[in-house]
Amino acid sequence: MRLNKYLALCGLDSRRGCEELITAGRVRINGVVVDKLSAQVMPDDKVLLDGKVIQPQPLVYVLLNKPRGYITTRHDEFQRQTVAQLVPLPVKLNPVGRLDADSSGVLLLTNDGELHYRLTHPRFGVIRHYRVTIAGKLSPGEMQQLQKGIEILPGKVARPTLKRIKSRDDHTVLHLELGEGLNREIRRIFTALGKKVLALDRLAYGGIRCRELRRGAWRYLTSAEISRLKKLVGLE
């Protein structure tokens, strides 16, 4: 087995991410530093990362209904609450994409490095659905501006698919679809329009929803759901 695949099966990162560990000289096989991407791992080999023995883990796929107030990471240097505290499993799971502390809804976690990489890479365009509540009203001109595309970073234009669900004098609720998921992309979109986001809830990720889960609850993905995600990104 190629070394990068072996490292990914250990839940460290995607295969591409694991290549960086190899070229940095952090991996040893049977006590010898290996920095060639073509390196192979044999069944009886002892593989170490930063001096610690690593072995492939059972692949785990979890769906969490993230509540507000939790950071989407495994550890936080400021001792804030993290999503890892909501899913107390012995394996290290990586969140698939991010929801900031003020956002809620569907969050996938897995130690399948290759699937994680593909689900989050813009090239695969995995669709995310959101319900967004903003302060005030959205004019027809602003709706048109959003549909045409709005610059959220230098040279980066976001073109969400959206529809208005309801509008009141003090707030507007929208359904929005994105296929990329840049960091804080939705909040950047509405900031560019001078609008404040009051609530942001992810409804679905790659077709996976969490309607039956209360906030803060989680469950394992079914085999059908795992297969669906893999087919979306060309792994099946």
pLDDT of res. 114: 85
Rounded distance between C-alpha atoms, residue 145 and residue 163, angstroms: 13
pLDDT of res. 212: 93
Specify the 3-state DSSP secondary structure of 94. strand
pLDDT of res. 216: 97
pLDDT of res. 209: 97
Give yes or no for residue 143 having a pLDDT over 80: yes
Domains parsed from the chain with CATH numbers: 3-53 (3.10.290.10), 61-123+207-232 (3.30.70.580), 127-205 (3.30.70.1560)
pLDDT of res. 90: 87
Q: pLDDT tens-digit profile of 3-14?
A: 998 998 887 877
Q: What is the dihedral of CA 28, 21, 99, 83, to 10 degrees?
A: 20
pLDDT of res. 70: 95
pLDDT confidence band for 117 (50 / 70 / 90): confident
State the average pLDDT for the chain. Answer: 91
Q: pLDDT tens-digit profile of 178-213?
A: 987 677 889 999 999 999 999 999 999 999 999 899
Give yes or no for residue 96 having a pLDDT over 90: yes
Q: Are 30 and 78 in contact (CB under 8 A)?
A: no
pLDDT of res. 16: 80
pLDDT of res. 12: 81
Q: pLDDT tens-digit profile of 61-93?
A: 999 999 999 999 877 777 889 999 999 998 889
pLDDT of res. 217: 98
The residues annotated as belonging to the active site are 100
pLDDT of res. 221: 98
- Whole-number percent of the chain with pLDDT over 90: 64
Beta-carbon contacts of residue 168 (< 8 Å; ≥ 6 apart): none
Q: At what angle do helices 113-120 and 15-23 cross, to 10 degrees?
A: 110
H or E segment at 117?
helix 113-120
pLDDT of res. 182: 73
- Per-residue CA distances from 12 to 8, 27, 75, 114, 229 (Å): 6, 12, 15, 10, 20
Q: What is the pTM of this model?
A: 0.84
